[in-house]
Structure 1
């Protein structure tokens, strides 16, 4: 049924008087031919539809029609038609800024042109490709196409094509910042363009002279005809020859004088332009020289000022750095002596300040009450890092020593409660409403007998890890979710204690959040699970081996990522 309808359409359309087919009519006919297997007629009508759409500005429909025609001609190996259609598609895609499709189409044009050995189409394809690559900012590829096109233009000695290539090369070199080559090709373009214009001017002159000759001859002939009609001239073969000769001589004289006048006019105009260019160039050079001198003087003064300020900053920075290093020595003196601790416990510490001084600190205190030797260990993470954190760490260290050494508080929960109150008082938080404080993991260790130890733990937003040697397993003991320096928490029961009975060779780990929060370049955190894996893997061995492995793992994990916070971990092994 569809085949019959298509045949009727084909028969009816030519019979309509004054009928102008619309774009979709061409496509309808093309579809009909395609269904009938008449691919050649289908391709021709798709091509006509494409041109009709293109003429009406319907570029997407035009591209679709040309693509259909191209598919059929490619199957038929019609290279000439494929070249033309690919070129049309490249132009449409360039106009609609679909540059990747335009590039593909023009590459097809180049391939077909080379198959046909058609230098003109090869040149046009290379120029179109260069323009598309410039729009896509693929400047090195644009340069390759432009240079290949230039070789063809030079072989053909086609000045307009040569100028077009020089322009493309100058633009491409300018885009990639090669000002030397850009200027060179711009000069070549300017010289070629001038040569083209000179040739065009000469052609116009020749055409003008020819037109004048024709006009003068027509005038003379008219005068002769008038004289014949009035009986003033006897038209003979000799007189006609003399008249023509005189007219030709006069015309040649007029043409010569006209050419001389035009040449003089051009020479005067040229000389005037040269003088104008020299004058403007001289003025620009003087202005540029003045600006350069002014800028040099200004830059020299700016450099001198910058150098002076830099020297001042270097001096100030050195003084500040020296002061901070001195503060580091003071802070290190505040930290406990590990050799003294190791008389009773195996101890290892990883202490990485983010800056020279740290807001973290580790702490140890021994006190004897009723003939019982209590050992207190803590890792404290104060608000901030650097100099502000270091001040907080000194306050925290002093208050812990005061609470245990002066006020004789030995219950970890009570110690944290007293530390909270004293820190609020020290920082006048009730009046200033500041939120500075510290997180702490506090352990009290008492040796019960040769093989057992009592551990009492209290934490303010910091946990403790217990590695039990017999079970070969690490577990986390969480603290309370309340920081030290919290105005709202004034209840003595805010902090709780956890009591554990540990065996010899068990290990206690306290650490700041800088360890587990340290990110890597992919913004992943080091994390507690990774730390537990390292503990379970290494702690059956020595603490020193564990610390070396932990340090290497941390360095490998963070790679080139800057350290985010102070990092402190203290491991206490029970002998």
Structure 2
């Protein structure tokens, strides 16, 4: 039994709650799991004595659940504590709750909610004394603000918050060590190696007598990453394994995932692919089990890199898609914008901001519009997630470009790629309608393309289009639909240009539904005519034609929809048209792909 628990047992939390929780808050990380549970039992016996007891007990319960990565319980306890502290106008309690909520949301990958929480904590911090019950968390609040900015590479702001936190942690070695470590990591990311190692070393020395295994394991892991970035792999492995050992012994499951990811990176860099795969899959399994998306996307990224190094392009692509999906959920542009403005935002009274909004706008209309816009943005995120990653396209086809400029938030056009049997399948697809209707059809088209190649094993472009037509028609057959129908069947479908590229044999197979293929070869633009029929319901259906073409050095192949040619613009506001597009592309044929894209975008 620790001396802290002995002292806590000498205090009656019903009569001296400030004294009891003041001591407990400052020592929870230093106490064993058994002593923490015993302290919670002491607090529970007096939780009904007052609002302060009830709120403080709920807060401590939330803290305890955070250490065991039980995030649903963390939120449940902290929401109760927050409600009571708000009712009491207890700024210290509000700050502490907001800070621990930030920690929880960061672990869950919900950076928008983490930013909102830490902003509340920063607003309360100036009114909180270091000596009061929850004053301990003042420096933690600035630490969390620094960590969020560091994650988003806002290093200047990160250093400002971390330096501010040091002002309130001078006599608290554990907190001082944490802040010194944060500064060391920022300097490491800036490539300032001497400063980084100095702060990391000071951090480890500062907490050496504190018996805080959680913090020690973090500092050891960060020193491991320092040596990894310096390519001193043996030293990196030593520190990362020391950190992992502590985390597994103390059952710190979520932090251990970070070690798995870093060890996978290290093993890949040092040529140990088998160990790299083992650690990578451990990271995915544990991240999925705990629903920690912020680590899940990193785990899929490293697995993609490992499989790419092994030449397994299909698995590399599979994990790359998942990496992009989860990364988009965590790092949406709105979240990044909010975090970048964190320093300025917390200084502005939110009440003043809200008052101005209410004065200038109709609140109900604003809420409705925000909800609609947010729905569109979420739909865009879903649609973006199905597109092949730009990085993978550049990796497989380095001399290429993708021009995708939808005029609405969501689009009826999409592009598609799969890598199967040494072939690269590419398609440019134009679905019926624009905006939301077109986007809904695009999801059907994307799913049916995947089904044609994965479930039916098709590889030839014409065979894929024939099966795609069958699947799309089957999807839209429903007797209850009356809008835009023929005999109760929806007419919606798509025009598509699809090819199969075999780089080893230097051959292309191609098929088209209404949209042609253009080939720029030896200063001439050739056109391979598409079948004059869409994918979808059509009265005079015939099998699609499969074209086989040899690739010659210098040939440029263009797959496209009608979007660019049909755009209106110029002084007369007329359509651009295919003739002008063909002439423009021919004039650019000697330029690099990146320069062609720049001209088309301008």
Query: What interval of TM-score do these two structures reach, taking the shorter chain for normalisation?
Result: 0.3 to 0.5
Q: Which has the larger radius of gyration?
A: 1
TM-score for the superposition, normalised by structure 2: 0.37
**Higher RCO (CA < 8 A, seq sep 6+):** 1
What TM-score, normalized by structure 1, do the two folds share? 0.39
